[in-house]
Amino acid sequence: MDLPEFAIEARGLVKTYAATKTTPEMQALRGIDLAIPRGSIFGLLGPNGAGKSTFINILAGLCQKTSGSVAIWGRDIDRTPRDARAAIGVVPQEIAADPFFTPFEALEVAAGMYAVPKAERRSLELLTALGLADKAKAYVRQLSGGMKRRLMVAKAMVHNPPVLILDEPTAGVDVELRKQLWNYVLELNRKGVTIVLTTHYLEEAQELCDQIAIINRGQVVACEPTTTLLRRMDTRLVLVTVEEPLATAPPLPGFETKLTKSGGFSVSYRTGHSTVEQVLAAIRAAGLHIKDISTEDPDLEDVFVSLTYASAEGV
Ligand code: ADP
């Protein structure tokens, strides 16, 4: 089979959790369209409750979708569920390792579940890659939290899937371990593995991902290359009030201006291109006298909030 263009392709994916005695019906995914390019490191970002885990659980076969379609590595999860499942490894949020196995045994058991023939198993290789070789024969309960987490990554890779999904991989993980984990993940990616990670840390996604989709309330509110998203974020606003009464926002060459509710106007500029000094010079050159001035720095959080806010408006 030719390699698919997309590692994961979801179309119109909907998930409604039925009402229970204590909870009302919940539409967790409201028509997700996502095409995750083969070979990418793709970030799935969103606040708690956005629907990220639901999406991942559907991919992992742990949760039944209500409608829509999903293909993993070009394999439809309804028509060829086993093939679809064989194409992904999922590292869950929660550490769930049997304390009575050694890491080596845990990997062998996981490989057995995927029916990986003995000759093709790579348990020691995986443990080595994740810095766990010297713990191969220890009991899992003797491992530190960080080691357990690395073991989870190894477990997700026993069947050598072309797509690896990491669900909130660095929650509660210290800086040193995070680096190790990412080095391994980047190494896998260099070897051709598509990586999908969910996080609510924008900086983490920004650092690692080529492309980022932002999910809010079960909908994709943005999906673009990280560089494009960052470009949106280097916009700054200068808020100005002037002595002169204004009926419209004064045109300033090279800048975008807008009238504000308070009777002043805002000037937006890109930090890579202009400086506040140049904004001030343009205002003076327009013959205006500045009464008050303040600046606004949208950070990652602001962009995130404005995108998710826009989506909330549309509901
Ligand atoms: P995220 O992973 O982005 O935090 P989730 O997919 O866990 O979001 O949750 C999306 C929404 O679906 C939330 O409102 C959550 O309360 C609800 N939800 C998740 N799992 C279930 C479930 N098993 N039954 C009912 N509602 C659920």
Residue range(s) in the chain whose domain bears CATH number 3.30.70.100: 235-297
| CATH 3.40.50.300 residue spans of the chain | 6-230
Could you tell me how many helices (H) and strands (E) the chain has, helices first?
10, 14
Give the architecture-level CATH label for domain 235-297. Answer: 2-Layer Sandwich (3.30)
Ligand 1 geometric centre to CA of 25 (Å): 11
Whether 172 shows a pLDDT value over 70: the answer reads no
Q: What phi-psi label fits residue 229: left (phi over 0), alpha (psi between -120 and 50 degrees) or beta?
A: alpha
Give φ, ψ of 81 to 5 degrees: -60, -40
The pLDDT value recorded for residue 273 is: 84
Strands (E), 66-142: 67-72, 75-76, 88-91
Nearest CA to ligand 1 atom 12: 28
| The pLDDT value given to residue 239 | 92
Alpha-carbon gap, residue 167 to 23, rounded angstroms: 25
CATH superfamily of 6-230: P-loop containing nucleotide triphosphate hydrolases (3.40.50.300)
Q: What is the reported pLDDT for 314?
A: 45
State the distance from the centre of ligand 1 to the C-alpha of 167, rounded, in angstroms: 14
For a substitution probing ligand 1, which of 15, 22, 54 has the most ligand atoms within 8 Å of its CB? Answer: 54
Q: In 3-state terms, what secondary structure has residue 143?
A: coil
| pLDDT confidence of residue 202 | 75
Alpha-carbon span 46 to 56, nearest angstrom: 13
The pLDDT assigned to 183 comes to 86
H or E element at residue 309: helix 300-313
Structure tokens at 240: 């100005």
Ligand 1 pocket test, candidate residues 17, 30, 58, 311, most atoms within 8 A of CB: 17
Which DSSP category does 275 fall into?
A: -
Asked if the model's pLDDT at residue 155 lies above 90, the reply is yes
Give me the pLDDT at residue 289, please. 95
Express as a percent the part of the chain with pLDDT over 70.
92
17 in contact with ligand 1, CB cutoff 6 A: yes
Rounded-to-integer distance, Cα 212 and Cα 126, Å: 28
Q: pLDDT by residue (tens digit) across 294-315?
A: 987 654 455 565 565 555 544 4
